[in-house]
Structure 1
């Protein structure tokens, strides 16, 4: 394989992902760069080579490659020393997405310096904090600091009767307790030793009795600048608060047009772009990590105000498979890699 036109290595977590991931990007590669896919275990540091999979004449082949010009990291959990070692060989600015697994509390701290008005109150979980915030806000969301597709997220609501309802995925509670002591016992079992955050509950806008979010895919473009590739909404199943378990995905503009007049929709879309791209810049600056893409999850409350709910370091690309212009989701990281290769 000729490296003269540029060589990009896409790093994934395990060997089973290599062919699937590479095919997605090969289909959308409009650059003249050559692509191969590898895992951290495929790196031979002693021989300065990487065993990776690539495609030639529609055949999948496994071979050794020199270290590429650019590495696009798609591993969710990765030892940071691997990124550091790659950086010393190919250049510290030639590997992007230094981290893909964000700590929700740390991200909140970074964003709160500049975008505090768009953030629901969020603090680390402990016994005192959860009772204090529950008393103040009546509805809370309790989430793992390191989330994974909406798993183990709990909705807590104190009712007028003083009962406390705990729900997982659904508004209907899985646990009902009568006092704070019983509540704490149950929450301790659910949370265990895992680090969690507590987030003030937002009265989320619904569409046809379905809660929906607004996910902005922010990616760096061929000029190295943050841009919004796609803005989509996930509609939760009826009775569910967790949009990660969605019934369908659509362009956010389509969802918003069913709720608001055109002028209001345009204003909301402009705000979504402004907030999300600013968030991407702040996170990259705050973490001191070289990033190339992330997704920002927002919701509208019943008054039409936007809130940042969380930010994801490894966007789920499959969400876009049925959406118009889905190729851009895969094309843009390669354009950014091309930008880095030319620097």
Structure 2
């Protein structure tokens, strides 16, 4: 009796440029199941007329470029605000078959969405203008001025009003890069630094530190094989001494380890449970509020000296490399493939 042949499902991973294809594909190939064919491609490799894609594929121990028919499901890893390619792909392969339709979020738009259900966890955040920049500095003494569509702490300024009346402005590090003598001088300097880009102002948090180092708490939230949001893991990036930007980190560890240095286990468990609950709520709110079809995001928290959790930002394209050093990091790469399988059958 002849063996029944197994149906092979083809999934495509879309990346921004050809250099990323092999690097990204390697990560996911190790986690795919036998009935899955994966290939990696860029938007420019789509042939809309022939309904095919020139993608990178691994076959018979070799990396090969192959022309594929449109895949059943597309996992978008392009960091962009444009949705046109995704919309065209969905028109061809079916609605809801591409996930992470857009993964470069506008921080202010996300803040507005979260401000209803998660208000107690959000620092005061407003769009930048010079009057508000002066007013909020009087209220909070420390502010962060961030580009609405920035990433990895680029273009973020920390502003602190000193007792002397001076205003210290810095990037990445607490040590001032610029010192303004008074508020008008500070306003002029900020206008000069920010130019015409869209920025927001966020209330500064009195950050809890570990070993005199700032740390964040990042919850990775991904959809699973049932199409349901779940928290894959919670890690912390520990900044270098004197640095407030956790993207420039000295080390990465599980948040439980950092919290255990600061609190008894019972309190650590309570923090982690709150982080999971808030992160799931944030993911559901962002997806329903934006109307985007998402499969993963990360929620960054800060913990203040009064043991209060704050949502600092939500990232639509979580950095995967930060998880590679942990045992059990397989789930980080497996989840999107499990979710792609779920989409294939639903």
Instruction: Identify the TM-score tier after normalising by the shorter chain.
Output: over 0.9
Q: Distance in 2 between matches of 1:31 and 1:275?
A: 36
Q: Is the 8 A contact 1:214 1:297 kept in 2?
A: yes
Matched, 1:341 2:344: yes
- Residue of 119, 139, 142 corresponding to 2:142: 139
Question: How far off is 1:91 after superposition?
Answer: 1.1
Question: How far off is 1:31 after superposition?
Answer: 5.9
Question: How far off is 1:28 after superposition?
Answer: 1.4
Q: Which string of whole-angstrom CA distances, capped at 9 and with x for unpartnered residues, describes residues 74-124 of structure 1? A: 000153111111111111110000111000000000000100010000000
Which structure 2 segments of 5+ residues have no match? none
Q: Which residue of 2 aligns with 1:218?
A: 221
Q: Which residue of 1 aligns with 2:26?
A: 23
Q: Which residue of 2 aligns with 1:283?
A: 286
Q: Distance in 2 between matches of 1:72 and 1:78?
A: 15
Q: Is the 8 A contact 1:30 1:331 kept in 2?
A: no
Q: Which residue of 1 aligns with 2:122?
A: 119
Q: Distance in 2 between matches of 1:206 and 1:32?
A: 47
Q: Could you tell me the TM-score, scaled by structure 1's length?
A: 0.98
Matched, 1:199 2:202: yes
Matched, 1:266 2:269: yes
Matched, 1:93 2:96: yes
Q: Is the 8 A contact 2:82 2:102 kept in 1?
A: no
Q: Which residue of 2 aligns with 1:109?
A: 112
Q: Is the 8 A contact 2:236 2:254 kept in 1?
A: yes
Q: Distance in 1 between matches of 2:195 and 2:327?
A: 42
Matches within 5 A, 1:130-209: 130-209=133-212
Structure 1 moving runs of 4+ over 4 Å: none
Matches within 5 A, 1:317-336: 317-336=320-339
Q: Is the 8 A contact 1:31 1:335 kept in 2?
A: no
Matched, 1:242 2:236: no
Q: Which residue of 2 aligns with 1:52?
A: 55
Q: Which string of whole-angstrom CA distances, capped at 9 and with x for unpartnered residues, describes residues 287-321 of structure 1? A: 00000000000010001110000000100001111
Secondary structure of the equivalent of 2:174? Answer: coil
Matched, 1:77 2:85: no
Q: Comparing 23-32 with 125-134, which one deviates more in the overlay?
A: 23-32
Q: Is the 8 A contact 2:6 2:35 kept in 1?
A: no
Q: Distance in 1 between matches of 2:149 and 2:200?
A: 10
Question: How far off is 1:147 after superposition?
Answer: 1.1
Aligned-CA RMSD value:
1.1
Which structure 1 segments of 5+ residues have no match? none
Q: Is the 8 A contact 2:256 2:268 kept in 1?
A: yes
In structure 2, the CA distance between the partners of 1:308 and 1:31, relative to structure 1 (3 Å rule), is farther
Q: Could you tell me the TM-score, scaled by structure 2's length?
A: 0.97
